[in-house]
Chain A
């Protein structure tokens, strides 16, 4: 098989960077497996319980970058108790013991503690990049360790984490010799920020490209920061309230004009909308705009801002933009690839919401659109059919009609045909989220047409087990299936146990699966971890004489090569 010496093959492998491709290469032959594993620097682990750190290090001893994901996706919506699992400490301890030259760590939905951050900061001399997304369990003290001890820190990127802010001085823990920062994102911190330390840090970081501030950074500080960092590419504005005539505002306007590299704008956590015009001069360069936390920006100020953003590729917005606002987006942002419209009024009464009209307008005006997340009050099959015709290139299509089980509001029919049109037209569809009134029919369509589908989210949908079976039998590339409040039970769950070996995980909550069904599954498939989460009932399931028929509230199963995990809390049963 090998016509070339190993070094040549290894050199060729260096050009192969995607995880999927490298995994494929490693399966070609023993020799390639060996060469590949010694040369692999970046490893992605989609489920931290599918493997353990010892086996990771045995296979990839030259590891430099690790990505780990912990809790299942529905943890984002409070469906998974905090203590469920996903602890990073054992991983960091194992990596530290092995003396591997770790440089990057990316974690999503994991429990991180100050202790693990401290250990991380002291164990890896070349550590450069820490990215934490939707994690919890740590405080600003942990951040202080990272700041103080990581001499070559390049990225500190904190996205939507729950961090206990001790209002301390973590920013001043960066030594004066630290000049290597490229990314600094602390937008999710709630407490006050040492502005002097921040300004000094930014001033001595000539490579700083991405800076995302929290709401404690006021407008005058922002002005001074932007003067220090005109090279900024990605800016997250904190607090943006001010009197437009003040000196700071003038300074800010002047500083913004100099930021000719600025491509991405976000934040505006508190905003005085009439000051947005300060950003108009650079809007024509923007490719990414995230105003989904800017509850106070809407109406004409928002529209004016968007009208300047002709090169936008990514837009995250609140539904207060309205259908009319989306029409402006459709006529202005011809390069738009990704759109997310979040709900602004979660208490109901929705007169600020968007409808199917906004979605149709976007699909008609933005031919390059491939990813959408759309929260809306109502939808029709006709609109979805039109959207499918206009945009056959969707990779991600997530539609959330706020009221569960809501039918087509014109015909009162289920939305099966509309979603059916989407899966039929969009041959590259990898991710789909359903909502509204849906019968088994929609799942028949999904099983038939959604050949590339990897992730499917189902809520309040379907009639019988047939629905789930259509999906399990049809979607050959399915990786993550998450279902809530739908009438699927043991028959569907047990029909093809070997299917779960080809998937990363399955989540089912408030469905019809029973304890005995789950037990049978666990028996048939010892290579699966079948977890039952029982927060409220504790021991009720065991005591009950009819335990077999008792419905399971939350089921989470996933393939694993390392068996039952040892760190599960008492309310999680692993069958």
Chain B
């Protein structure tokens, strides 16, 4: 631990990474430098990573329907769970397949989803993950290929126990 003039600078240092994580600073910097997204190789760039882009209202001057249309990098959908007092939001683009998504939902709401089968749906836990698609219909999570699901899912709802029908 570096102590300079009695001050423990490392403690108050601003850095990326979870609190408690040691070393890393060199690694973080090289991550940023070799990031393909940064085109300019200006040497004026300091060793600190660039600040997150602050959101300025109405900038860039693009109509909101264009912003929504082109924002393919994130896909936030609301998630509700029967009985939970408030909704959550997750970014579907963070997940590559159903197991990853279901695991994230299980962690978020502290429940377990049952065994999925094409015929029976989810069995065993009383929790059934459903979603609203682009046509406004409520569907069972898992029936269609992942890509089709992630592009048509508008909302998620985790139905509980008695409210979840045994056959959809």
Report whether chain A binds chain B.
yes
* Chain B 18-47 interface mask (CB, 8 Å, partner A; 1/0): 000000000000000000110110000000
Chain A interface residue bracket vs B: 35 or more
Contact with B along A340-379 (1 / 0, CB 8 A): 0011111111110000000000000000000000010100
CB-defined contacts of B40 to chain A, threshold 8 Å: 409
CB A485 to nearest CB in B, in angstroms, measures 8
* Chain A residues, Cβ within 8 Å of B64: 78
* B37 pairs with A459, CB closer than 8 A: no
Tell me if B39 and A351 are in contact (CB < 8 A).
yes
On whether the beta carbons of A160 and B65 are closer than 8 Å, the reply is yes
User: Are A293 and B66 in contact (CB-based, < 8 A)?
Assistant: yes
Stretch in contact with the other chain, from B68-76, B94-102, B109-117, B159-167: B68-76
User: Which A111-165 residues have a C-beta within 8 angstroms of B?
Assistant: 134, 160, 162
Q: A269 at the A/B interface (Cβ < 8 Å)?
A: yes
- Find out whether the CB atom of A375 lies under 8 angstroms from the CB atom of B73: no
Q: Tell me how far the C-beta of B52 lies from the nearest C-beta in chain A, rounded to whole angstroms.
A: 9
Q: Which of B37, B61, B66 has the largest number of chain A CB atoms within 10 A? A: B61
| Known contacts A349-B37, A351-B39, A342 near B66 by CB under 8 Å | yes
Known: A167-B136, A346-B71. A74 touches B66 (CB 8 A): no
Q: Is B86 an interface residue (CB 8 A)?
A: no
The chain B residue sitting closest to A402, CB to CB, is B60
Q: Say which residue of B57, B73, B136 sits within 8 Å of A345 (CB atoms).
A: B73
Q: Is the CB of A192 within 8 A of B70?
A: no
* The residue from A293, A348, A457 contacting B69, defined by CB atoms under 8 A apart: A293
Minimum CB–CB distance for B34 against chain A, Å: 13
Contact with B along A446-474 (1 / 0, CB 8 A): 00000000000101000000000000000
Partner of B53, one of A167, A348, A377: A348
- Sorted nearest first, the 7 A-B pairs with minimum C-beta distance are A77-B58, A349-B37, A348-B53, A79-B58, A351-B37, A295-B70, A77-B61
User: Mind listing 5 A-B residue pairs with CB under 8 Å?
Assistant: A293-B69, A342-B62, A342-B66, A347-B53, A459-B61
A62 within 8 A of B: no
With A77-B62, A296-B72 given, can you name 13 additional A-B contacts, CB distance below 8 Å? A79-B58, A191-B136, A192-B134, A293-B70, A345-B73, A347-B71, A347-B74, A349-B37, A351-B36, A351-B37, A375-B60, A404-B56, A409-B40
Residue of B nearest to A378 (CB): B40
Docked complex Cα distance between A409 and B58 (Å): 24
Q: Which residues of B contact A318 (CB under 8 A)?
A: 70
B63 at the interface (CB under 8 A from A): yes
Interface hits, A194-244 → B, CB 8 Å? 216
Most B CB atoms within 10 A — which of A76, A293, A350, A433?
Answer: A76
Q: Determine if B58 and A343 form an interchain contact, defined as CB atoms under 8 angstroms apart.
A: no
In angstroms, how far is the closest chain B Cβ from the Cβ of A97? 35
Q: Are B74 and A76 in contact (CB under 8 A)?
A: no
A350: which of B37, B72, B134 is its contact (CB, 8 Å)?
B37
Contacts A346-B62, A346-B71 given; indicate if A79 touches B57 (C-beta within 8 A): yes
Q: How far is the CB of B152 from chain A (nearest CB, A)?
A: 10
Number of B residues near A (Cβ < 8 Å) is: 27
Closest residue of chain A to B58 (Cβ to Cβ) is: A77
A9, B44: Cα distance in complex, Å: 71
Contact with B along A55-80 (1 / 0, CB 8 A): 00000000000000000001011110
Give the distance in Å from the alpha carbon of A402 to the alpha carbon of B55 in the complex.
12
Residue in A closest to B44 when the chains form the complex, CB atoms: A412
Residue in chain A with minimal CB distance to B151 = A270
A343 to B60, CA, bound (A): 9
Instruction: A269 to B61: give the CA distance in the assembly, Å.
Output: 21
- Decide if A347 touches B66 in the complex (CB within 8 Å): no
Q: Does B135 contact A (CB under 8 A)?
A: yes
Structural contact, B135 and A192, CB atoms closer than 8 A:
yes
> In the complex, A377 Cα to B37 Cα: how many Å?
12
CB distance from B45 to the nearest CB of A (A): 13
Complex CA gap A272/B13 in Å reads 48
Tell me, in angstroms, the Cα distance from A466 to B66 when the chains sit together.
Answer: 36
**Residues of the B chain whose Cβ atoms lie less than 8 Å from the Cβ of A349:** 37
Q: Is the CB of A292 within 8 A of B66?
A: yes
Residues of A within 8 A of B151 (CB): 270
Return chain A residues, CB-CB under 8 Å to B78: none
Given contacts A167-B136, A192-B136, contact A346 B65 (CB under 8 A): no
Shortest B27–chain A CB gap in Å is: 20
Chain A nearest CB, measured from B16 CB (Å) = 16
Asked if A160 and B63 sit within 8 Å, CB to CB, the answer is yes
Distance of A378 Cα from B9 Cα, bound (Å): 37
B67 at the interface (CB under 8 A from A): yes
With A167-B136, A346-B67 in contact, do A74 and B58 touch (Cβ < 8 Å)?
yes
In the complex the two chains form, is B72's CB within 8 Å of A295's CB?
A: yes
Nearest CB of chain A from residue B137's CB, rounded to whole Å: 10
Asked whether, in the complex, the Cβ of A459 is within 8 Å of the Cβ of B59, the reply is: yes
| B73 with A78: CB separation less than 8 A | no
Which residues of A are found within 8 Å of B135, using beta-carbon distances? Answer: 192
A76 contact from B53, B63, B70, Cβ within 8 A: B63
Chain A positions within 8 Å of B58 at CB level: 74, 77-79, 484
Residue in B36, B40, B63 with the greatest tally of chain A CB atoms within 10 Å: B63
Complex: A162 Cα to B73 Cα, angstroms: 23
Tell whether, in the assembled complex, residue A344 and residue B70 are in contact, meaning their CB atoms are under 8 Å apart.
yes
